[in-house]
Structure 1
Amino acid sequence: MTSPSKKLGVIVGVDGTVSQVGMYSMSNDSQLLWYGDVLTGPKIGAFLTINQNDVKIIATVSSEKVVDQQNTVRSVEFDNRFHKDSINRVITLKTKGVIEENKFQVTSQYVPMVGNEVTLTTKEELDLIFGLEPGEDSIYIGNSLLEGQPINIPINKFFASHIGIFGNTGSGKSNTLHKTYLELFRSQYRSSILNCSQFFVIDFNGEYTGDNTFGLDASNKLIFEIDTRAAEAGQKMPIKKSYLFDPDILAILFDASPATQVPFLRNALRTFNNSITDEEKFAEMELGLLRSIIIGTGKVSADALENWIKAAETVGIADEILEGLKGNSSWNDYGNPVINASDGQTSILKKGQITEKGEELLKLEIIKNELSAKYKEASPIYKLSHFLEFQKVYVSAWKSTKIEFINPLFHRIKSAFESLEKVVEIKENLDACFKPMNIISLVHANQEITRLMPMLLSKMVYDEQKSTVAGNDVTQTKHLIIDEAHNILNAEYRNNGDDWQDYRLSVFEEIIKEGRKFGFYLTLSSQRPADISSTIMSQLHNYLIHRLVNEKDLKMLENTMPTLDRNSYQMIPSLGQGEAIITGNAMQVPVFVKVEKEEINRPKSDDIILTKLWTENELIELF
């Protein structure tokens, strides 16, 4: 038998989706006991039901006030203001949806009418509001703040979307991010998820590197501790060669100037990718460059040979092998360049050809073998570095480019390659390189790698997914999770000459605009949503909003979240730790929830208790 409704008041005014209720009594208890159920009283944010025949219109309380019916008498002796029989309570309701045929839906088909009576929203009705479609799979995230109702998130509508998790430091956003995916892996679909999907967590602060984070062990999880500070290289990130040796990527990484350095890089990489297939090709090309410099003595720049020797020394060719190239003298014999060895007697160059004796003195065959050996033993990154050193000599030898314009670039190349060598492992393909869960910790990475790695990994993984899925059914998905996303998605410097920022934002904007159709989903977590590109923010589908107080952050949310109503928006600055608003395509109405906190398995983001730290330190000193 259904419990009779508790009538609280009647509709006395309607203005669109906003209506006023004249209350039958003050009814100001925060909770009311009715037929065994403890129901939330008519306070700000609470649900109430407007009864209209067989339809129940669901609304939330947005404001309340009292109207004093006897407030017209102003004299002291006849002042009846605020008399207990004089005050009427009026509350304002904002319509959220309707319950019809035992189902809640958001619709404007029914609107409140003057005379409709208002009742408490029962447990059964709350179940329909917070509930899911029949048979819809979900995960539990916590309880609603006011009603204490269990809140479940539909798996399909939520995880097959781009997600935003925002909140100030200490508001609980890291716990929410971890809890959300932890519950997904605890679901009945765990084994299928691990077979069909891959997750990549970009972790700037090392919060998710624990042994049991996300409820997964080492058999299903890889943690990449990217460390550019250690003396020895640690674990390296697998990157496809074609992505790292891309002229756009390297031009930005090396901060190359557009006028001379970018064209140099583009031409050099084109030659490297197309012509240098092995160590023999490399040795032949660079020895050919040396021969051309010697033979063209009168046509090349005066320091061309010296620059070639410096390049060879940088590659690692020993001094004793290069000694034949040093200290030689040249002159013109009736317009023909002639070079004698350092002994002043033996001709190295005569009649435009290197003499047999010259070949021997210059040790050209030995140099060729050494070049081949040095290139063969070099890592892929240093193979490119070796090639670039000689390309610098090539473009400057015939004065097509002044070497002083290129030299500054090579100081940056050296620094960048040293960092990359520690953290990157070049792969021809990515087969078996990643596990279902992959956590990339950048807490020990320098600034160059911190800004490069997320973009490089994201573009690579996205392009791989796009290539696999394009034109086919989606049989696998990839989920990119970026904690502290404002670190790499800041739009402040766009169009201000920051090529790096423009390229990076273009990559992520393509992902968030196009990724969904290819089964590629983005989750962003940040304490500064105002710093994230508005284009990216506007493409998010579901949000979990913790406490935010900065005006710019709140304004960004107001402008980019169509499903967040005004009353919910105004509550954001007063949310407590772990409290959040869930809104978006997955939820029929914005829901205030207390996200359940895991006692053991949670991120390394707890607040430091200073007095405990200092007490422990004092005890250590005593002993």
Structure 2
Amino acid sequence: MAEVTLPLALAASGRRGLARGTVGDFVFIDCDLETILGRIVEVGIFGSDRTGLDRQIENQPIVHPDGKIQLLATVDKTSLKVTRGIAVQPRIGDSVYLAEGRSLSKTIQDALVGDLKDPILIELGQLAGLEDATISIPPEKLFGRHCGIFGATGGGKSWTLSRLVNEAVRLGGKCILFDPTGEFAGKIPGAKEFAFTKAPPGQTLARFPFRDLAEEDLRALLTPTSQTQIPTLRNAVRTLRMAEAFSLPTSPFASIIVDGRRKVDITIGQKTWGDIWVQPDGTIKKTDSPRAPLGMAEIHLYKAIGSDVCDFNIHALAGQLKNECVHPAGFGDAAGSYGGIDKQALGYCTSLIVRTETYLSAPELGCIFSEDGANICTAINQFIVDPDQHAMILSFKDVTFKYNTRELLLNALGRYLVRKARAEAFKNNPVICFLDEAHQFIGRTVGDEANSVALDSFGLIAKEGRKYGLTVTIATQRPRDVPQDVLSQLGTLIVHRLTNERDRETIEKACGEMDRSAAAFIPSLAQGEAIFVGPDLPTPMPIQMMIPAPSQQPESRGPDYQSAWVLAAQ
């Protein structure tokens, strides 16, 4: 911070139009070989100069206002290169010049482009309060370290999100937009649009295939208790994976169909261990069945059984849960077999069995467990490899919050993208995930205190997706609800107007470059105005975002009271 005298800042009678130097203006401080870029954060007349000020302004305006300047960056006079930080300290007597819009934007623009040759640039808008000060930024410096868009309702957050998505599409990038409210329907030209549960005109009904559902997400949905139900659920899942493996052409065990049941011969080498019978509904009954064949099959099929997704007949899960409730061993000659039904264990698991049957048939969860709609994982795979597809919109507008369906569905999609990223599917086709209303999903847990599951898939993308070519841009009006470990991974922050003190404190902590003098502007930012902060930016930049084209503006306006109330009165 530097204190300066601003002799031209006084708006005396008849001189207001000639006054120069007000709060928010950018200035250059001449420090010989280098120049400091700063921004005026305070202007006033202090001390004894305030005595008789009104009379002096009217008669002889000789009072010189003082001001405080936030020091932002250093500009080399020879190369005009902007560097982060303050390389030289201003001294008493250094001259201060008001920054002209075009030259300032060029200086910042050159710093953003750096050594890139013929770069592609995302057009953002112009420096706030300056004319002819347009700013564009390379996508690497905006999305490369993940991005966060924050702002209270009506601050322009949704329009900024639309602007960034449409710019990425214009430049040939690939984006997946997760739309919780449906306000982006038809707003991204050329986008493939899908909707879950119910598809309006122009969108394709989609479902998330349960076979790509992570086992952890299944546990989050069913919320089994830790003592009895979790081990039973785990055993049932492993058994159903085994039954699924028996039916595949790659199965190492011979099998035949007898009266609708599959008889599997468990022979390894020269030794036959016995038979396993898979019922017509896909389950395996364990009551009084020999343990050896099941044990040897489990050892031999360890890769398939150890999968982390629900690649089995999930509609047989309730029946298999019942089959798992058996005594571990019989008596006497039957000691090598499972025992009879364990009524106590079955009683403990009854609530889990009922929940499973209810959820698998619930219409609210049809977007996961039904066969209606396009396979969204297949659509994503096609989107990744198709060079002519640049945007995909996934609408959650009609997905219910009941049974935590909305949160689980989005988390399942995020986990699928993480698996694709780890398989290096995005190395040559980088993808940006845009998540609107992120506070509804990130940092959430499902279950009670004794058995809670974190919905952390987008947190995983933020933590490890960058090295695989998968980045995320989150938008929310409640930054305080975003976990700190996710906030710390966001390289570029776009901050619109925030009035809540806790939200502003969260942003200040997340932005090492933003001090309190810069943060003081946040509550008074105009609609569409935002402060850009990030390690790849030369300085925090207040930018008036370019308004999206009318066809690209999301439907985020509030209610029209004028029309509605007048019509009601008539």
TM range (shorter): 0.7 to 0.9
Work out the CA distance in 2 between the residues paired with 1:388 and 1:588: 58
**Amino acid in the other structure paired with 2:422:** K
Show CA shifts across 1:387-435 (max 9, x none): 5314413424431852121121122212322322346767997643765
After TM superposition, the structure 1 = structure 2 runs for residues 356-395 of structure 1, keeping only pairs within 5 Å, are 383-395=313-325
Query: Closer, same or farther in 2 for the Cα pair 1:236/1:417, shift >3 Å?
Result: farther
SS of match in other structure, 2:88: coil
Q: Is the 8 A contact 1:168 1:546 kept in 2?
A: yes
Q: Is the 8 A contact 2:206 2:374 kept in 1?
A: yes
Work out the CA distance in 1 between the residues paired with 2:138 and 2:563: 41
Work out the CA distance in 2 between the residues paired with 1:282 and 1:412: 34
Work out the CA distance in 2 between the residues paired with 1:40 and 1:458: 54
Q: Select the residue among 411, 414, 417 that pairs with 1:458.
A: 414
Moved over 6 A (4+): 70-73, 79-83, 278-289, 423-430, 492-495, 616-619
Per-residue deviation at 1:537? 1.0
Per-residue deviation at 1:465? 1.8
Q: Is the 8 A contact 2:21 2:40 kept in 1?
A: yes
SS of match in other structure, 1:88: coil
SS of match in other structure, 1:468: coil
Q: Is the 8 A contact 2:56 2:63 kept in 1?
A: no
The answer to whether structure 1 residue 114 and structure 2 residue 89 are counterparts is no
SS of match in other structure, 2:205: coil
The answer to whether structure 1 residue 139 and structure 2 residue 93 are counterparts is no
Q: Is the 8 A contact 2:105 2:127 kept in 1?
A: no
Q: Is the 8 A contact 2:528 2:544 kept in 1?
A: yes
After TM superposition, the structure 1 = structure 2 runs for residues 301-316 of structure 1, keeping only pairs within 5 Å, are none
Per-residue deviation at 1:583? 1.5
Partner of 1:444: 398
**Amino acid in the other structure paired with 1:44:** V
SS of match in other structure, 1:389: helix
Per-residue deviation at 1:463? 1.3
**Amino acid in the other structure paired with 1:443:** K
After TM superposition, the structure 1 = structure 2 runs for residues 174-323 of structure 1, keeping only pairs within 5 Å, are 174-187=158-171, 190=172, 193=173, 198-210=174-186, 213-215=187-189, 217=190, 221-227=191-197, 235-239=205-209, 241=211, 243-244=212-213, 246-277=214-245
Query: Closer, same or farther in 2 for the Cα pair 1:547/1:25, shift >3 Å?
Result: closer
After TM superposition, the structure 1 = structure 2 runs for residues 49-60 of structure 1, keeping only pairs within 5 Å, are 49-60=28-39
Work out the CA distance in 2 between the residues paired with 1:286 and 1:392: 21
Q: Select the residue among 397, 405, 409 that pairs with 2:352.
A: 409
Query: Closer, same or farther in 2 for the Cα pair 1:603/1:114, shift >3 Å?
Result: same
Partner of 2:276: none
Partner of 2:24: 45
Query: Closer, same or farther in 2 for the Cα pair 1:146/1:282, shift >3 Å?
Result: farther
Work out the CA distance in 2 between the residues paired with 1:261 and 1:385: 18
Q: Is the 8 A contact 1:40 1:46 kept in 2?
A: no
Q: Is the 8 A contact 1:153 1:586 kept in 2?
A: no
Work out the CA distance in 2 between the residues paired with 1:558 and 1:151: 24
SS of match in other structure, 2:5: strand
Show CA shifts across 1:287-306 (max 9, x none): 699xxxxxxxxxxxxxxxxx
**Amino acid in the other structure paired with 1:160:** G
Query: Closer, same or farther in 2 for the Cα pair 1:53/1:99, shift >3 Å?
Result: same
Per-residue deviation at 1:481? 1.3
With 580-589 and 133-142 compared, the bigger mean Cα shift is at: 133-142
Count the aligned residue pairs: 485
The answer to whether structure 1 residue 20 and structure 2 residue 20 are counterparts is no
| Percent of residue pairs bearing the same amino acid type | 21
Work out the CA distance in 2 between the residues paired with 1:427 and 1:164: 26
Work out the CA distance in 2 between the residues paired with 1:238 and 1:270: 22
**Amino acid in the other structure paired with 2:120:** D
Work out the CA distance in 2 between the residues paired with 1:93 and 1:200: 41
Work out the CA distance in 1 between the residues paired with 2:82 and 2:458: 36
Per-residue deviation at 1:154? 2.2
Q: Is the 8 A contact 1:491 1:533 kept in 2?
A: no
**Amino acid in the other structure paired with 2:416:** M
Query: Closer, same or farther in 2 for the Cα pair 1:124/1:604, shift >3 Å?
Result: closer
**Amino acid in the other structure paired with 2:369:** E
SS of match in other structure, 1:606: coil
Q: Is the 8 A contact 1:199 1:438 kept in 2?
A: yes
Q: Is the 8 A contact 1:105 1:588 kept in 2?
A: yes
SS of match in other structure, 1:51: strand
Q: Select the residue among 470, 473, 480 that pairs with 1:530.
A: 480
Show CA shifts across 1:78-116 (max 9, x none): x99998466331111121122212222224321101111
Q: Is the 8 A contact 1:462 1:511 kept in 2?
A: yes
What is the TM-score of this pair, normalised by structure 1?
0.69
SS of match in other structure, 1:87: coil
Work out the CA distance in 2 between the residues paired with 1:112 and 1:282: 87
The answer to whether structure 1 residue 556 and structure 2 residue 486 are counterparts is no
Gaps of 5+ in 1: 1-17, 74-78, 290-310, 317-379
Work out the CA distance in 2 between the residues paired with 1:88 and 1:39: 14
SS of match in other structure, 2:490: coil
Q: Is the 8 A contact 2:143 2:492 kept in 1?
A: no
Q: Is the 8 A contact 2:421 2:465 kept in 1?
A: no
Partner of 2:556: 605
